[in-house]
């Protein structure tokens, strides 16, 4: 028999892959990680994130466990509330229109806290997301939308801390090593075929974990599966996630699962490059739209900007913008809400216009029917229920009444100059369709039986996300199923070793 390179090979080096590798190592396996990108571009989409991670917790004591250096002053001035497993479960069911697999959701939700605490024990430092997820009202911060924790240093910090953790326990990461095929003898997976620097090599292992992302960076697959127009979307993150892991597994008879025509896509700077730029990270996104209005080329509104908290609408509104004429929209705000705009509105790489009157502003909104826009604003201002107090921390019910498309919350008149407009298009984050796994993260065959020694985690699993997504769940899903996949893969190797020694 050919010698094994490692007990467990993990394909990818993003969050899910590192969690799988650390878990397998913890169970005593020798682990090798293979990453397609060169080291300077590695870390996948995980490195592009803000590092915000959705976790179920019961109150401030749980937050103190995850963030041991939380100061008494922070505790005093903050209402962390709670985000229970029941709420997390309900959010997943609601936003997926009850299609998410309940067993996978249960594993995700119930293991979220323990997994995040395990990451902390492995050296991932965490803090509350004061900047983006809490507004200060009456001297006190209040967290909203079930998203309270982020990794120190955001996505780059998370990847740096996970890379350091892997290094500390002797896990090797080979960069510029794109896995192209699984070694499969018809009954079990025994390694991968890899192409480092244009050569082809076979690497044998006791088990393989696929954690190499979705197909969002593959223009042809996007068009094929998401549909016409998706070739025109910008890719928010890594250009290396081209669906290889999914293809490799399907090639050996794995079962596809989930919302193959669906994806996570947001409003993204109109003139952003084709793929993500690590120097800008996630800052091309424009997520403060709940406090303004969105108009398209016809000068009219097309969506309820305040249908829910940003965390529950942002991932589906990219698609809505893609469907507009010319695949663009303008987000419009006035001075009253300017202080609520997130940091990403202050970057240099932005398509922005300002003006002191609506008439002048309308002329500056490139590609927009100016006369229609002026009419839209007049109707809008007359429809806002100004008697309901505005409160960004809650779904305040400050709506419009009588418009063709009403806004449900946070409606404000547009009447205090300067007016500001930001041009956005659709940025695709990751795809929802993927591989069928069980709750041990084993990849299932078309007969729905585990493919021996093959596991998967992260973006490339199907069955969790449909239509929409609760913010911060991607990292948590990668962490939970990555950890499970790592343990399962290591256990499979141990079982194999003991079976071999018993037959000697």
Ligand X SMILES: Cc1cc2nc3c(=O)[nH]c(=O)nc-3n(C[C@H](O)[C@H](O)[C@H](O)COP(=O)(O)OP(=O)(O)OC[C@H]3O[C@@H](n4cnc5c(N)ncnc54)[C@H](O)[C@@H]3O)c2cc1C
Q: Does 444 bind ligand X (CB under 6 A)?
A: no
Task: Please report how many Cα atoms fall inside a 13 Å half-sphere around the Cα of residue 427, on the Cβ side.
Answer: 30
* Binding-site member from 128, 145, 146, 213 for ligand X (CB under 6 A): 213
Instruction: Tell the smallest beta-carbon distance from residue 335 to ligand X (Å).
Output: 29
Angle at 144 between CA 138 and CA 148, to 5 degrees: 110
The whole-angstrom separation of Cα 313 and Cα 309 is 7
Q: Does 145 bind ligand X (CB under 6 A)?
A: no
E strand spans, 233-316: 234-235, 256-257, 263-269, 293-295
Instruction: Tell the smallest beta-carbon distance from residue 151 to ligand X (Å).
Output: 9
Instruction: Tell the smallest beta-carbon distance from residue 20 to ligand X (Å).
Output: 9
Enclosing H/E stretch for 127: strand 126-128
* Burial class of 64 by CB neighbour count within 10 A (0 to 12, 13 to 18, 19+): middle
Of the pair 150, 304, the CB lying nearest ligand X is at 150
Q: Does 486 bind ligand X (CB under 6 A)?
A: no
Q: Does 211 bind ligand X (CB under 6 A)?
A: yes
Angle at 56 between CA 343 and CA 124, to 5 degrees: 65
- String of contacts with ligand X for each residue 169-208, x by CB under 6 A: ---------xx-----------------------------
DSSP type of residue 3:
P
Of the pair 180, 385, the CB lying nearest ligand X is at 180
- Residue pointed to by tokens 């996104």: 285
The whole-angstrom separation of Cα 326 and Cα 342 is 26
* Binding-site member from 6, 21, 30, 48 for ligand X (CB under 6 A): 48
449 and 351 Cβ atoms separated by less than 8 Å: no
Of the pair 257, 301, the CB lying nearest ligand X is at 257
Q: Does 52 bind ligand X (CB under 6 A)?
A: yes
Closest of 81, 144, 148 to residue 112, by C-alpha:
148
Q: Does 17 bind ligand X (CB under 6 A)?
A: yes
* Binding-site member from 128, 237, 433, 462 for ligand X (CB under 6 A): 237
* Binding-site member from 148, 238, 288, 327 for ligand X (CB under 6 A): 238
* Burial class of 457 by CB neighbour count within 10 A (0 to 12, 13 to 18, 19+): buried
Q: Does 430 bind ligand X (CB under 6 A)?
A: yes
Q: Does 34 bind ligand X (CB under 6 A)?
A: yes
Residues that bind ligand X (CB under 6 A): 11-17, 34-37, 42-46, 48-53, 178-179, 211-213, 236-238, 240-241, 244, 276, 282, 429-430, 458-459, 472-475, 478
């Amino acid at each position: 028999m050919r010698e094994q390179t490692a007990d467990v090979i993990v394909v990818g080096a993003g969050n899910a892959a590192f969690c799988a590798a650390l878990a397998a190592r913890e169970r005593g396996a020798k682990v090798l990680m293979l990453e397609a990108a060169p080291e300077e571009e590695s870390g996948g989409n995980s490195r592009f994130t803000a590092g915000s991670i959705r976790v179920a917790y019961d109150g401030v004591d749980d937050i103190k466990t995850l963030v041991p250096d939380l100061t008494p002053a922070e505790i005093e001035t903050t209402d962390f509330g709670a985000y229970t497993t029941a709420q997390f479960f309900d959010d997943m069911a609601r936003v997926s229109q009850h299609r998410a697999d309940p067993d996978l959701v249960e594993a995700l939700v119930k293991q979220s806290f323990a997994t995040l605490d395990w990451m902390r024990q492995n050296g991932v430092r965490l803090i509350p997301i004061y900047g983006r997820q809490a507004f200060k009202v009456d001297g006190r911060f209040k967290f909203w939308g079930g998203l309270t924790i982020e990794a120190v240093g955001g996505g780059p910090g998370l990847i740096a801390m996970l890379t350091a953790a892997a290094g500390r326990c002797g896990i090797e990461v080979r960069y510029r090593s794109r896995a192209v095929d699984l070694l499969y003898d018809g009954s079990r997976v025994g390694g991968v075929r890899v192409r480092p620097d244009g050569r082809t090599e076979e690497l044998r292992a006791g088990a393989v974990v696929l954690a190499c992302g979705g197909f969002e960076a593959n223009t042809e697959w996007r068009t094929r599966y998401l549909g016409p127009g998706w070739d025109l979307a910008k890719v928010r993150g890594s250009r290396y996630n081209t669906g290889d892991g999914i293809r490799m597994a399907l090639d050996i008879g794995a079962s596809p699962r989930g919302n193959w025509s669906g994806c996570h896509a947001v409003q993204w700077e109109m003139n952003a490059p084709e793929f993500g730029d690590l120097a800008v990270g996630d800052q091309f996104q424009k997520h403060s739209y709940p406090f303004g209005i969105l108009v398209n080329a016809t000068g009219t509104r097309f969506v309820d900007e305040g249908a829910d908290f940003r965390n529950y609408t942002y991932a589906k509104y990219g698609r809505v913008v893609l469907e507009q004429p010319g695949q663009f929209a303008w987000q419009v705000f006035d001075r009253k809400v300017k202080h609520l705009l997130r940091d990403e509105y202050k970057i240099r790489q932005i398509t922005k216009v300002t003006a002191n009157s609506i008439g002048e502003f309308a002329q500056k909104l490139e590609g927009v029917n100016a006369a229609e826009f002026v009419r839209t604003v007049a109707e809008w201002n007359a429809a806002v229920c100004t008697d309901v107090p505005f409160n960004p921390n809650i779904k305040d019910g400050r709506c419009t009444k009588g418009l063709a498309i009403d806004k449900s919350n946070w409606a404000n008149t547009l009447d205090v100059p300067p007016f500001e407009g930001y041009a956005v298009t659709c940025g695709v984050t990751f795809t929802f369709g993927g591989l069928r796994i069980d709750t041990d993260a084993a990849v299932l065959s078309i007969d729905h039986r585990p493919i021996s020694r093959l596991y998967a985690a992260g973006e490339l699993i199907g069955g969790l996300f449909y239509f929409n997504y609760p913010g911060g769940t991607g990292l948590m899903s990668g962490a939970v199923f990555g950890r499970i996949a790592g343990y399962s893969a290591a256990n499979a190797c141990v079982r194999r070793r003991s079976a071999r020694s018993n037959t000697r």
